[in-house]
Structure 1
Amino acid sequence: MPTRSALDALPTFHAHIAKWYAKCGRVELPWRNLARDGSQSYEVYISEIMLQQTQVSRVLEEFYFPFLRTFPTLTALAESSEQEVLRLWQGLGYYTRARNLRKCAQICVEKHGGALPRGVENLQKLPGIGSYSAGAISCFGFGESVGFVDANIRRVFSRLFALANPTHTELQNLATKLLDTNDSFSYNQALLDIGALVCKPKPLCLVCPIREFCQGSHAPQNYPQKVSKPRESLHLALFAIDFCESDISYIALTAPQQDSLSLDSPHSTHHTQLYAGLYNLPMIPTPLLKSHALNPLTLIGHYKHAYTKYNITTQLWHTRCTDESMARALLDSLLHNSSQYSAQKPIAFVPIHTLPTLPLSSLSHKALKILHANPML
């Protein structure tokens, strides 16, 4: 029996989706139970930005409510420091999202009376808001009837119409044509959930509510075709250098203004800033290690870490100095003349007990856990 096109049977297509969402959708998520008149568009906006590249459970359990308690309005966010925002974002990754949130809030306060503007086109003019986010905020925060495409919806539509390599324009056109204008909110939320819960990379076709319309159900693994982007390998040496003074333990960190690592890896043709805006343990690429400078240090561990486009292999070196001047001299010896390493100064010697209050990179978090767990230290 030939598969019916969803475009030729829209009322039935919409009915199947609506029935499934009422029974199986994640209707209880807090950002799905907000006013749709614009008055709570900020809360929708925060959820949409957090959910990019991040699992719903992590956002819900660890980040969404603490962020809104600290920055309950766009005005509060606009008046924050970048470090405050990054500290609350710590662990979510893709920190450009957090910086753009603050920039966006400042623009909204300056130009839009402290509120997000209406309309997809106006939203897309703001930093960090692309076509998907603009559509989602318009629909979920302002009640506007718009279609949009994220990674999950892309997968659903690609299989629904057996599209191996669809362009964004093709998919956006389908989103507009397939939209249930009678209940755009529930329809769009349902599509997101079908993509996340049913039409997954390894799909559960037998329980899919729109299987009868799916032209790619015979070979869903072929739609869309996966374009692999191999990560670049990166080898880093991190230095945990501490000292004690007046019964307070201090550790060396690179200050956020200049703590980025300029890398020219063998697999890259451009310089990249690593963890810009966050505190880090001092670090250099391992090929730049100078053996004579390592004499006071002990190698206490290796670990792997993934960050954006990098697979990072890390060495963790440690030593305890007698005072700050000794620690600075050692860092100068380790980092001096490392041409691929951006300016490290200022180095901040931070009381170890204050580390939980700082926006610290996850790479350095892992290192400090290894340091803390080492029974020899």
Structure 2
Amino acid sequence: MLTAVLAMAPAMAMAIAGDGDYARIARRFASEEKFDGVVLVGQGRRIEYVEAFGVADAEHGRAMSADTRFETGSISKWIAAIVVMKLVDEKKLSLDAPISTYLPDYRADTGAKLTLRRLMSHSSGLPNQVQDARKNDEAVKSAELPLREAVRRYASGDLAFAPGEQWDYSHSNWILVKAVVERASGRRYEELVERILIRPLRLKDSGVFAGDSAAVENGAVGYASLAPAAQRKVSPVPAYMAMTGGYYTSAGDLLKLMDGVLDGPVLSAESRETLMATLMPEQHYALGGRVRSQEIAGKSYVFADEYGSNGAYRVLAKRALRDGRTVIVMNNTSFDHLRIGKLADELQAALYP
């Protein structure tokens, strides 16, 4: 079955918006690099080019399509930050209030020091206990826990440094953010994503998952390799880690979301500016994601630069804040992120001839 699917994959590639420079760049890359996934170029909400390459599910002979759904890895943190900023707009949260304001049963010493702003910028000092646990025990990866117990086990450690002093990428931050958000709003995180993003923006291929994202309808299955035989690569995401890596979407939906958040009505102007303000300059890190400057054709542009990976999945989304020109690349076969970045750079250069 796999051989047949691979043989027909190029013919099943799906393209929208012609055969111009974007198609030429993406098709050459897919052919030379044996790339499986989806490539999209857009401006604002408008898709200028999208094409799917290879297989979404080798075992069942399902080819990739433009609306195939991918788990987004750490882009989920940016999604979570958007939800938080909406709750700030609604006066349900403050970025700078001690988290003990919302979680009075959290340990008092660190609860008085930690804030959402520091947790969401990875400058809190909270150690990455959950990642250490996942590395040391495979069973932890798929074990579900009540959120309160996950906070106790993995997000209650002694601070490694005073909040704001350093940058340390810690998934445990987002377990604690999830607890704050759900306590303050009185709603489950999945419900908030639905209310704040999916319904208003009319996203049809997006949501929050738990476990193996391959179970999502029309989801891309993750592979360590496809040849000589398909080899699955699974990295489950328990529900308590939904903010760290539990969001799935399609390329078209991700374009709509970026437009709605960065140039649309989802957030107030003040919250949008806060979301994209770099707090840790050496890491280009704002709240839940990165903002980078890049020179193209002799001019400097500032991009929302979002990248996520988990298991076999790789998703890159770059949007110019000045004019909304966007490149999205999605992959399900453990592809080298540096080569994905090279493809994005080529497509960006074509956006600014």
- TM bin, normalised by shorter chain, reads under 0.3
The structure with the larger Rg is 1
Higher strand share: 2
TM-score by length of 1: 0.23
Higher helix share: 1
TM-score by length of 2: 0.24
Greater relative contact order, per chain length (Cα 8 Å cut-off, separation 6+): 2
